[in-house]
Structure 1
């Protein structure tokens, strides 16, 4: 179905156009909500045995319909009979169909505004749908374009997919947005592979967690918070996110709806987290603190416009380690250092956090990264670090590591893991290489970390005292034990081995001398020939 929607856009000349993702995601989400509504409707006694569900639903009078809708499962969108895809499909050949299609989308958005909207920083709701025909410049082609879209939607059914869980919809979502997450340099557009998100969730979240909050201050498309929520149980947690990218927030909303986390939609906010954190404590005087925080923040971005403001006294408590200076290339400003400080400040006293950082942070000597690492260690919250293989993320060649914090107890040592040699490199999109971890490698990382198990040249338990002595370096390689293999020999065996090696060395030296003499002889012959040729030329 996704490929079919893309082909319709391509035929209209919108392939890779900025509007393409809006058209495809609105159409995809409309189809999902339509099929989910009918799926839940069929569970009701009033429609259990009907052969034509859409017609039976249309035949119910409006007052009775409202009573029936109260019985639907939470998180189910309400669709009027005239907004159903089957109704639109039967009218796709009528004049003005583009308006009919758009009005259905807008009507669904209006009817479900209180449940399916996300918010701007000022608390204004962002509508679910805005219509798609406006993206076709030639008005005469809009009817046909919308007719082709609804034809693709009508030919598919989500019915069998509703029995599936997170892993299924995570794969679908990753495929859906694959073409729209390649602008990795922009704020909040980073995309975390599902496999990495699963590793983070399985290490971060213990079994049996209930009634907790999960937060991502640079949520992007929501891969990390969704993986954590699935690990906890969708009904056992509430998700809070913020991101200043409009596109990222639209994808975030879609991801939450697909994964049965509609109750978290009111906590998805479109705004700049650093300048205007919108998730505040009940009294509104400080930022809210959370049970679990996961984040893959942008590593470098230009925040020169707000830099001086963020360095002011009003922000000093949150950005306690300092604010990076503006450089000759502002787009290279290390914005991730700001997010790390925000994350530490956003942890509950017994909270947990996992954050993706450039591996260079683990040993960086700058004042700000050193201060951040020092606080993690000195306050006993550093649980461990996993350094990942290069190119594990599809859109950045930067080597990355994952830092795990646990404030629920005081730690005195951390597990440092070097997983950089794992994985298989393959071409991800025909040209760029990406590293893929096997199932066994993922299990090895998760099991070794959760068991705090030391493995030669892979993982080591480093005491906080040793970490402090090494200037708070979190690079596993600096703590691996250098092992020397010893072999027990008798004096007679030792003498025999020594004689063998001595004879071998003498033979190699003799061969070297023979080669050296051979080279000198050849050089002498070349000089004689060159001299003779010169004398002969002079005589002539």
Structure 2
């Protein structure tokens, strides 16, 4: 008898693991509690992995590099917190170390994890108010359920799931799965990696200060750090500042940045950037942001009409925050060299209520580039959005090793809405590395070359201020980029002749098939002889 072949074991994906967790918690906790519990477990798992890696690095340095084999000396060095903190790694005791926590009996696991959170909150300044307190006892899961979820999270191997932004990806998954705060007015979008990569590639935040006034889960900062590392930069030369109004997301951002050893300043509390700017006196070299689209009810704070952030350009509409975000970002930019890349809904490009502010922005040469992105790039909305680039220095000069020309009075328009070929997860679109490089090259060529006319039909066009004035200060790219009417290229006489020939051929084939069918029925005894 032939030996039965064993079926190959199907490799589990991160999404499979997260679905299993979600399935285990189905009906057992509120949606936000599920999210917080799972993200906290991922966080504890991840800092535990980094702690282990650092421990092995220290051991290797002592034994292999220094040639010291004194067991007591090695153990002493491994127990010193400063040996870990210098690389942004949290020093973990047994009560906070993942590998020890998962050995706890199921009945005591909830208390053990909550105790770990309290210990980290008390002992690590960077984690103060970052982790949800008492989340495990609050959800009151049956011991077996919590144990099954912990076992699933334990399958997440950082080497296997070497993702740009692991916590952000988990967060993105639950935005989709549970529709948490998916209302556009809540603004809790997770910005797709390819969009953040595009922004970073254009503004190049290699040094100085980086700011996000609505930082969400901190994904912008994480991706910017990845971009800096990929281009040989030093992430320690960058100081990160941000603000977030939603308390749970504020905690998540602190977790997300702390897990990677990124130095950050997110203010003392979760609060709206408009009502309480946590970095009021500071200006920044780079700003990256994905503000909530068309945010309403943002102006309900004292002193809105007289807020100094909009005194130079006009008071933005109280019914929609799009231009309030623009003016806030401009207000926070370093006056001599500041550059910003941020997303807004397309309506901001030609809104009649904000024409006066838009005119002032254009006349004062703050707008550098307008890039319309493809549809279906976000989980929470299918609309196409716009990437704005503001620049306080369009007069030219040295910049990151190259010489920029004077772009005064020009704005570069790019329309990427036909770039929707790289589809993932059934319907979502992302920009490929090749496409990001293409946009970056268009932008850099325009910045550095003295083009009298810089354009490619249906893709980009560099417009001069007088053209923009003539179009009522509209920033809609399609009003400047040439559109080719392909209908005028058709030879209708030839096309009709070709269609007629094809129709005649189809008619002949139809008649032949009909004859064959009639003959077949005759053979079977049907029809007349």
Q: TM-score surpassing 0.5?
A: yes
The aligned residue for residue 99 of structure 1 is 111
User: How do 1:124-143 and structure 2 match up within 5 A?
Assistant: 126-137=129-140, 141=142, 143=143
What RMSD over aligned residues (CA atoms) do the two structures have, in Å? 3.6
Q: What SS does the aligned partner of 1:309 have? A: coil
Distance 1:482 1:455 in 2: 10
How big is the shift at 1:355? 1.8
The aligned residue for residue 532 of structure 1 is none
User: How do 1:363-378 and structure 2 match up within 5 A?
Assistant: 363-366=350-353, 369-378=354-363
2:269 is the counterpart of 1:264:
no
Cα separation, partners in 2 of 1:416 and 1:90, compared to 1, 3 Å: closer
Q: What SS does the aligned partner of 1:173 have? A: helix
The aligned residue for residue 220 of structure 1 is 216
Distance 2:293 2:343 in 1: 9
How big is the shift at 1:365? 1.9
User: How do 1:299-448 and structure 2 match up within 5 A?
Assistant: 299-303=293-297, 306-307=299-300, 309-315=302-308, 317=310, 320-325=313-318, 333-349=319-335, 350-366=337-353, 369-410=354-395, 411-424=408-421, 428=425, 433-448=427-442
Q: What SS does the aligned partner of 2:55 have? A: helix
Cα separation, partners in 2 of 1:375 and 1:319, compared to 1, 3 Å: closer
Cα separation, partners in 2 of 1:111 and 1:145, compared to 1, 3 Å: farther
Cα separation, partners in 2 of 1:268 and 1:37, compared to 1, 3 Å: farther
Alignment equivalent of 2:42, drawn from 17, 20, 28: 28
The aligned residue for residue 328 of structure 1 is none
The aligned residue for residue 127 of structure 2 is 116
User: How do 1:248-287 and structure 2 match up within 5 A?
Assistant: 248-261=249-262, 263-265=263-265, 267=267, 269-281=269-281
Distance 1:451 1:483 in 2: 23
- Please give the per-residue CA displacement for 1:245-282, whole angstroms capped at 9, x wherever unaligned: 12322332232134431x2155585111011111122x
Q: What SS does the aligned partner of 1:35 have? A: helix
The aligned residue for residue 294 of structure 1 is 288
The aligned residue for residue 197 of structure 1 is 196
Cα separation, partners in 2 of 1:96 and 1:444, compared to 1, 3 Å: closer
Cα separation, partners in 2 of 1:153 and 1:354, compared to 1, 3 Å: closer
User: How do 1:131-170 and structure 2 match up within 5 A?
Assistant: 131-137=134-140, 141=142, 143-155=143-155, 157-158=157-158, 160=159, 168-170=163-165
2:460 is the counterpart of 1:459:
yes
Which runs of 5 or more residues in structure 2 are unaligned?
Answer: 1-13, 65-69, 229-233, 396-407, 447-453, 487-491, 501-529
How big is the shift at 1:171? 5.8
Distance 1:484 1:3 in 2: 47
**Matched-pair contact (CA < 8 Å) for 2:167–2:256:** no
The aligned residue for residue 537 of structure 1 is none
Distance 1:312 1:354 in 2: 26
How big is the shift at 1:242? 0.8
Distance 1:77 1:86 in 2: 15
How big is the shift at 1:23? 0.5
Distance 2:424 2:164 in 1: 24
**Matched-pair contact (CA < 8 Å) for 2:371–2:414:** yes
- Please give the per-residue CA displacement for 1:96-115, whole angstroms capped at 9, x wherever unaligned: 34323321232222221x13
Cα separation, partners in 2 of 1:132 and 1:314, compared to 1, 3 Å: closer
Distance 1:242 1:265 in 2: 8
**Matched-pair contact (CA < 8 Å) for 2:305–2:315:** no
The aligned residue for residue 89 of structure 1 is 102
How big is the shift at 1:450? 2.1
Cα separation, partners in 2 of 1:173 and 1:161, compared to 1, 3 Å: farther
The aligned residue for residue 23 of structure 2 is 10
Distance 1:18 1:406 in 2: 39
**Matched-pair contact (CA < 8 Å) for 1:300–1:334:** yes
Which runs of 5 or more residues in structure 1 are unaligned?
Answer: 51-55, 118-125, 282-287, 326-332, 486-499, 509-540
2:199 is the counterpart of 1:188:
no
Q: What SS does the aligned partner of 1:18 have? A: helix
Structure with higher Rg: it is 1
How big is the shift at 1:244? 0.7
**Matched-pair contact (CA < 8 Å) for 2:339–2:390:** yes
How big is the shift at 1:39? 1.3
Distance 2:485 2:102 in 1: 74
Cα separation, partners in 2 of 1:318 and 1:68, compared to 1, 3 Å: farther
**Matched-pair contact (CA < 8 Å) for 2:377–2:430:** yes
Distance 2:376 2:155 in 1: 38
Higher relative contact order (CA 8 A, sep 6+): 2
